[in-house]
Structures are given as C-alpha cells and as structure tokens.
Structure 1
C-alpha cells in the first residue's frame, strides 16, 4: 500500500486546552479518526462535555484538570499516565491565551501570563512527551502556532513573540528528536470561528479587514483545522518534520 494511513487507531493523543474551541475540535476529530484522548484543561465541566462526545464514538477519554503554567501539574499528569500504563503517542500543544495590550502598555504580569501559557507550557509538555516517545520508538508532537508568528498583526507583540518562538522551537526539537522517530511540527491558523474570536468577528469593520487580506474571503471553520491536524498526527506525515503548516486561507502568501 503506497498511500500512508490517516487512521489514528491504536493511538493515544494528549490535547491541552481541550475544553473549548480548537482544542475541543481536535480532541473530537482525533477520536473520530480512532484515537483515545487525554484531555487537559482548567475547566472540568468543559472536559466532561468533550469526553462525552469521545465516548459516544467508542473511544476512551481521560480527564486531567490542570493549570498548564504550573510545572508540578504537568509532571503530575505524566506520572499518573505512567501509573496507568497509558502511553502518549501524539501530543497536541494547543493551550494558549492573549492579552491585546499595545507594546508600551504591556505589564510584567501580562508578559508572564502569555509567555507561560503559550510557550513555556508547550516546552514542558513536549519535554515530558518527548522523553517517553524516545523510549517508545517515536511519536508525533504538534503545537498550535499562528500566522502572527510569521507576519506582523494587531494581535500584540507578546502573543506574536510566543508564536514565532513556537515555530523555531518546532524546528529545533525536530532536529534533535527526528533520529528517534519523533516528528515535531506546528500549525499556524489565521482567524477561526471559536468562542475566543466571537466578539472580534462580530465587529463588521474588523471582519472586513480580515477578509480583505484573505484570498478565500472567509474565516476558518474548525473542520478546516482538524483535517491538517489529523494528517500531521498520522502515519501520512511520517516524512514531514520541523514544519509549520499555515492554515490561513492563503493569508500569508501575499506581497504588495
């Protein structure tokens, strides 16, 4: 068979920020593709709702209520999975946040909150998962970056800095871990319809600005993102490493 499989049967995926938006969609999409899913979020009720969908699909859902910016919480998750003999074959670093302050107004607290949530936690989870994947002969790590890590946007300097760092971290981890059968990639979304973007997209002037620089003239729907994520988590992407796939309706391809 020349076409690699897109199936995730027999795999277990850990998804951070799994209670809402992109994380929720990926978690359910992976279950549809055959994976069991470890859900990580700060909100138990949200995870219970997602877990219900996953179990209806005949897959197993594990729930871990945790603060991804707390290293002891991260360590506890992996220790508990080890004790249950649950391997992490796929890691999705999705947890993220933003505070849209202008550069001159950014406080130390805002800097730390965004950096710790978006970047530091992604490295901690990658480090813990990578250690286990190395012992197990391989795995897939996928981190959600953003077009803001590639082009300058009005999303704010701190957010953009974390997303650019994710792109470079992806390259370096891929370089270091590729020899162990670990594929490390990232996805860079443009605007997608999620609870976090609902208010922004309700502003018609703001939406018009977005559509003006998007060749497909629409914002993303969550299924548009789940497909690429399944690809990068499956055997179909076994020779893709250190890359950032921009899922952006063509936004990043433009010049003047």
Structure 2
C-alpha cells in the first residue's frame, strides 16, 4: 500500500513555496521522492529556499515568476518543461490576504486579491494543464481555505476569492478529468504561517480560535502534508473535483 503514496522522480511545481505552507508542502512531496520546483517572485528568497532543499540532498529547482502576470507564468512553465522536465504535479498555493472592514476596503486591494488568489490559480493551472492534457495525466491541487465556506469580519473579499477557487477546482475537473487529470483542493483551517502572523500574535484571537475549533488549537503546517501527498499520488486516482478540509473540525462545528 505504501507504494501508492510514493512520488519518485515526479516533478512537482508549488507556487508561492519559498516560505509558509507552500514550502512545507514542497518538503512533504520531496520526502516522498518528488523533485520540487520552488516558485516565488522574490529571486533571492526563492534561491535561498532551493539551497535549503539542496543542503538536505534534495534535488530542487527554482522557478521565478509572478503568478499574476499571465505572460510570465506561461514563460515560466515553458522553461520548466523544456529545462527540467514534465510537470506531473502542480500545487497552486500562491495567495495573499488583506484585512479591513468591508465598507473601507480599498478597490486596489480587492483587485490585488483577485489577481493573486484567483487569476494566479487560473493562469498557472491552465498553462500546466495544456502540457498535462497532451500526456494524458497530471495532478493539480488548488489551495482553498475554510473561508471557501465561511466568512469572518474584515476579510469578505478574501472569502470571495477562496470561494471562487473552490468552484474553479470543480470547473477544472469538469473540463479536464476526461483527459486523465485529477484536480482537487485542500482547504486549510487556521495555521501558524507568515500570512496569519498578526492573528497568531493576538491573544484574544487565539483564545477565540481555540474555543471555536473542536481540536482546540492552531494547526501546524506539517499537518497539511498528508493531504497533499494523498492528492498528488496514485492513491487518489479516482478522486476528482473534491475539496479536502484540514481544519481541526472548524467547518463542521457550530
């Protein structure tokens, strides 16, 4: 059974993986034998992340492009396919957050959220899928959120973007499953990451979260790895269009 979860030699592109959840997922796939391709906009940070993998003896590669720039995405994907090899796993992880009351939400931040969280997922997914379709196989994993289902004050636009990513996942499945692709999503709950640092540092929020979440705590990014490995491996060969919540039970509890 354990062989079903092995990813030996498979090239795995993880967007936004120089730190945080993306970096942890790249590490988890690499531990199962995948070759991680680390993506980011910041060249220095991305190269440093790649070097950290290589110091572990892991064969890793950088892919520096901005997911919000369609031309940059297409050029970056083409370069990976030409110089590294076929992308067999894609994790669309790149995402941003902005918190402020909805009545004061700046239009430019609304657009920035949608450009990164939704358009970035579409641009990268489409560019990779075009190669996967020709090969008749491929795994795409989109990172959603518990905010794909729930809302909290001050983050309504973020919630809208993550709801869109969940439905985009379903749409990708509807269009691409017939070509042998599996497209699924992971919906993390509240994890200790740079994106959530302001909340982690807020004792009142942490107290609320611990009471609200049945598991009674923040999640650790390493706890997302099992879900990613499952969805990236042959173990999930008939799982398609699904969003897997990894949230300590917050979305099933009142």
- Alignment gaps of 5+ in structure 2: none
- Supply the distance in 2 between the matched residues of 1:162 and 1:137 (Cα, whole angstroms): 29
1:34 aligns with 2:33: yes
- Supply the distance in 2 between the matched residues of 1:131 and 1:111 (Cα, whole angstroms): 29
- Supply the distance in 2 between the matched residues of 1:154 and 1:21 (Cα, whole angstroms): 24
Shift of 1:82: 3.1
Shift of 1:49: 2.8
Q: Secondary structure at the match of 1:8?
A: coil
Quote the residue 1:60 is aligned against. Answer: 59
Quote the residue 1:212 is aligned against. Answer: 211
List aligned pairs for 1:27-176, cutoff 5 A. Answer: 27-84=26-83, 86-154=85-153, 156-176=155-175
Shift of 1:46: 2.3
Q: How many residues align?
A: 254
Q: TM-score, normalised on structure 1?
A: 0.95
Q: Secondary structure at the match of 1:96?
A: coil
1:236 aligns with 2:235: yes
Quote the residue 1:15 is aligned against. Answer: 14
- Alignment gaps of 5+ in structure 1: none
Contact 1:31 1:59 in 2 (8 A): yes
1:192-240 alpha-carbon deviations (Å, 9 max, x no partner): 1112222311211110111111001011001101111111111111111
Shift of 1:106: 1.7
Say if 1:208 and 1:241 are closer, same or farther in 2 by CA, change over 3 A: same
Aligned-CA RMSD value: 1.5
Shift of 1:101: 2.0
Say if 1:84 and 1:32 are closer, same or farther in 2 by CA, change over 3 A: same
1:45-100 alpha-carbon deviations (Å, 9 max, x no partner): 32223212322444322212222111111011022123326111000000000111
Contact 2:64 2:76 in 1 (8 A): no
Q: TM-score, normalised on structure 2?
A: 0.95
1:181 aligns with 2:175: no
